[in-house]
Amino acid sequence: MSFSTKVSNILGTSNLDDSQVTYLILFSALMTVFLIVSFLFLVYFSCYRDNFLTPLEDDSHYIPDCLEPPFENIDDIKGDEYKNSLYDGLNEKDKTRYKLALKFYQQNKPDLSFNNAYGEIDTTYLLIRDRGISCFYFDNYQEQLSELVQNAEDEENGELTSSDIFSTSTATANNTTTSSIIANATETTSLLPVASSKKKYSTTNETNSSTVKSTDYRSLMFSRVPYFVEDLTEVNFTTSEMSSAMLNLPIPLKNRKNETVYFETKLFDFNPETTLISVGLATSPYPNFQLPGLSPYSVGIQSDGSLRLSGKPFLNDLDLPVILPQMIEGDVIGIGYKTITGSVFITHNGKNILEIVKNFRAQLYPCIGSVGGPCKVTCNFGQLGFVFIEANVKKLGFCENHNEGSIGAPPLYSPKMMKKDPLLDHGEELPPHYPSDEETFFGPKSLRSFNF
């Protein structure tokens, strides 16, 4: 019995020649391979689906769930028992700060646009091309609390007025009969409560207004400037109040040879026992009275070694992952961002630690904050060598080692250079030195004494 006959008997068919059997076996083998490959791809995709986010959709942003704002309004906290207990555990000043941070988020929605397309030209790209690394600097402190506090106070006063109006309408409805009797009365007797109703209403108002406790928003106002910037990238925090500084430009994403952008910060002049420093990434605008990692769409690495994501916005939340030891003066924290996958990784003193978040695709700004005491933080965006060796080898700085730019920085003038610069040279001061035959300013004496 031939091979084709055996196959025909197995399949329950007849009259299959050798060529048909060969095609059938080949088709079955291809289908088997296709099914196996499809199964393996599904398994791989389910495990590593983060790497399959479409980098071609450059205009689409993506925010991980751990960075989404947990609450839109202050009343939403009551729906979460755990978060409500954390909020109740805050002191009055921290509660007020959280309320103002929510109002800031409601009034100033952050820019979440994301575009890492190659070949597009925008203002940031032109600045980097022309000025190089000198176009990056931390913004000086700008007042945000004054207008925010005023709006919060006006809103709170408006709520009190509405409650008073509601109390007035309720009291009027309850005393409709008495009011009608008083209005229709033609004689006054001791049994008619002529003025008692109005007196009772005013007393009720006084009682309601005395029981309502207003929030002291002005307690968060800075008595002096909380920080100042030196040499473009050195931030000096001068108070113990919570504050943060943000870079003027976002992390450069377009027209780069490297898909990774990296920078480092070095900590100076702080007491680790009392001062908490936070270094991270945030969207803009960002409240400068909050640390990075407390307001929506931000991450922060704190000097106590803990990682703070904006999904946990309360300071007394101790359920934070600790990824680094307690930091001291001279420690270097590095933050890298991978534009393709939206991953953020952390380095400590030149050692790569781990990726703290994935799929964070938004327009991000380096942000530095401090609370508890004065400190100084210097940032290196590529103007100097990195402690992380891989960043030097792969040129992961903001300008990819093209720090001077096409125009370059303006010239540096100093008294020593000005004396040697031929372009700045000038003649002698008046009166000049004349030869011996010209003893006076107006010429030789012979010409002076000549009579025309």
pLDDT in tens, the chain (452 residues): 555 565 555 555 556 667 777 877 888 889 999 999 998 888 877 665 545 444 434 457 788 888 888 877 787 887 788 888 888 888 899 999 999 999 999 899 988 888 766 666 777 888 888 888 999 999 999 999 999 999 888 888 875 444 443 444 444 444 444 444 334 444 443 333 434 333 333 333 433 434 446 788 888 899 999 999 999 999 999 999 999 999 999 999 888 888 899 999 999 999 999 999 999 999 999 999 999 999 999 999 999 999 999 888 888 888 899 999 999 999 999 999 999 899 999 999 999 999 999 999 999 999 999 999 999 999 999 999 999 999 999 999 999 878 887 776 565 556 665 566 665 566 655 666 656 655 566 666 666 555 54
What is the structure's pLDDT at 4?
56
Of 269, 271, 338, 278, nearest to 303 by C-alpha is 278
**Token pair for residue 362?**
């938004």
How much is the pLDDT for 187?
41
Length of the chain: 452
In angstroms, rounded to a whole number, what is the distance separating the alpha carbons of residues 370 and 367? 11
pLDDT at 139: 94
Q: What is the DSSP string of 304-315?
A: TSBEEETT---T
What value, to the nearest 5°, has the Cα angle with vertex 215 and ends 213 and 216?
125
- Burial class of residue 191, CB neighbours in 10 A (0-12, 13-18, 19+): exposed
Q: Distance between CA atoms of 78 and 71, rounded to whole angstroms?
A: 10
CA separation for the pair 302, 232 (Å, rounded): 23
pLDDT at 69: 84
User: Which pLDDT does position 211 carry in this prediction?
Assistant: 43
Q: State phi, psi for 179 to the nearest 5 degrees.
A: -65, -40
CATH 3.10.580.10 applies to domain 81-96+113-141+225-394: no
What's the distance, CA 30 to chain centroid? Answer: 52
pLDDT at 119: 64
Name the nearest CA neighbour of 114 among 280, 340, 314: 340
Using CA atoms, how far apart are residues 345 and 432, in angstroms rounded to an integer? 68
Instruction: Write down the number of H helices and E strands in the chain.
Output: 11, 12
> Helix, strand or coil for residue 68?
coil
Query: What are 225's two structure tokens?
Result: 């400037």
Of the candidates 164, 160, 163, 165, which has an alpha carbon nearest to the alpha carbon of residue 213? 160
CA–CA gap between residue 312 and residue 321 (Å, rounded): 11
CB-based contact 311:299 (threshold 8 Å) = no
Q: Which residues pair with 365 in a beta bridge?
A: 282
Q: At what angle do helices 92-107 and 145-174 cross, to 10 degrees?
A: 100
The reported pLDDT for the residue numbered 401 is: 77
- Domains in the chain: boundaries: 3-47, 81-96+113-141+225-394, 146-220
pTM summary value:
0.68
Supply the DSSP string of 325-356, one letter for each residue. PPP-TT-EEEEEEETTTTEEEEEETTEEEEEE
Backbone angles phi, psi at 435, to 5 degrees: -65, 175
CA dist., res. 429 & res. 406, Å (int): 40
